[in-house]
């Protein structure tokens, strides 16, 4: 474990990004880049649970802590990726307190939760370290619920107050879509929702997170108390790098003039 949960509790601001190509190679490259955490995306990403295993293995040798966004708060989806070695789980589109409770139950062992018990899995070093892992899971596994719907804004204090919810993570694309102002991140309604989320988290002693489409907005959200900040993805980095190179080569090609030998 790379102490991500402890660092958040100590008040650090932690930077991360998405992994949505399903590639162990890009996972390792991004993990080595210097992010505090990386999130493997099973909700929208190209990879499957089989790819998650290889990505987690690749990330292990990097400084970044590996998180996984599952497709839903269904119990089986959550404990599956935890058994593979995820250090935290993000559950998307949580609407109310009951759904948040179900998510927490998925990442906690009985009697506090409903996570299935398996010893011969990667996260326990295939049984070698089960006791220590099980005893430390509550303190080490980072539980993240996403704030992405209009309904959830009516339940922020209750969700933030749940023991086991560590981060309220704002999904700006879905949230702005739900509010009828898609992509308008400077709209008053969006900013009110962000502030309400951050305030609820602060009252409960929890952290708030957000995914930034524009990294230059970082100071705005950090000033609001948001301490788990992501921007970019492996797909974005590859696409931007490729487009930059194509543009640069095209400039040289278009600026050159072949010699007229006639």
Catalytic residues: 44
Q: How far apart are CA 194 and CA 96, in angstroms?
A: 17
262, part of any domain? no
Number of C-beta neighbours around residue 244 at 10 A: 10
Residue 257 has pLDDT above 90, yes or no: no
- Whether the model clears a pTM of 0.75, i.e. scores above it, the answer is yes
CATH number of the domain bearing residue 248: 3.20.20.60
261, part of any domain? no
> What mean pLDDT value characterizes the chain?
96
Q: What is the mean pLDDT of residues 238-261?
A: 86
Number of domains observed in the structure of the chain: 1
Per-residue pLDDT reduced to its tens digit, 165-201: 999 999 999 999 999 999 999 999 999 999 999 999 9
Determine the number of helices (DSSP H) and then strands (DSSP E) in the chain.
Answer: 11, 8
79: containing domain: 4-255
Residue 259 has pLDDT above 60, yes or no: no
Residue 12: exposure state from Cβ atoms within 10 A (0-12, 13-18, ≥19): middle
216, part of any domain? yes
The residue to which tokens 């000033």 are assigned: 223
């Amino acid at each position: 474990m790379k102490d991500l949960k402890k660092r958040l509790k100590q008040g650090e601001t932690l930077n991360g990004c998405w992994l949505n190509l399903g590639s162990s190679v890009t996972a390792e490259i991004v993990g080595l880049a210097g992010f505090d955490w990386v999130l493997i995306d099973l909700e929208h990403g190209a990879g499957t649970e089989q790819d998650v295993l290889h990505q987690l293995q690749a990330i292990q040798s990097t400084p970044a802590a590996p998180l996984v966004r599952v497709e839903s708060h269904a119990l089986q989806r959550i404990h599956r990726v935890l058994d593979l070695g995820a250090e935290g789980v993000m559950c998307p589109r949580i609407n109310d307190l009951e759904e948040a409770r179900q998510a927490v139950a998925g990442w906690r062992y009985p009697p506090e939760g409903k996570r299935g018990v398996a010893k011969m899995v990667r996260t326990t070093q295939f049984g070698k370290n089960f006791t220590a892992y099980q005893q430390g899971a509550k303190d080490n596994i980072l539980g993240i619920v996403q704030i992405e719907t209009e309904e959830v804004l009516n339940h922020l204090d209750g969700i933030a107050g749940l023991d086991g919810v560590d981060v309220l993570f704002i999904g700006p694309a879905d949230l702005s879509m739900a509010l009828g102002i898609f992509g308008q991140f400077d709209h008053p309604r969006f900013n009110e929702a962000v502030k309400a989320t951050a305030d609820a988290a602060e009252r409960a002693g929890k952290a708030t997170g957000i995914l930034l489409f524009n990294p230059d907005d970082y100071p705005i959200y950090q000033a609001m108390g948001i301490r788990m900040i992501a921007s970019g993805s492996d797909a974005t980095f590859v696409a931007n790098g490729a487009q930059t190179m194509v543009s640069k080569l095209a400039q040289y090609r278009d600026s050159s003039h072949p010699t007229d030998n006639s």
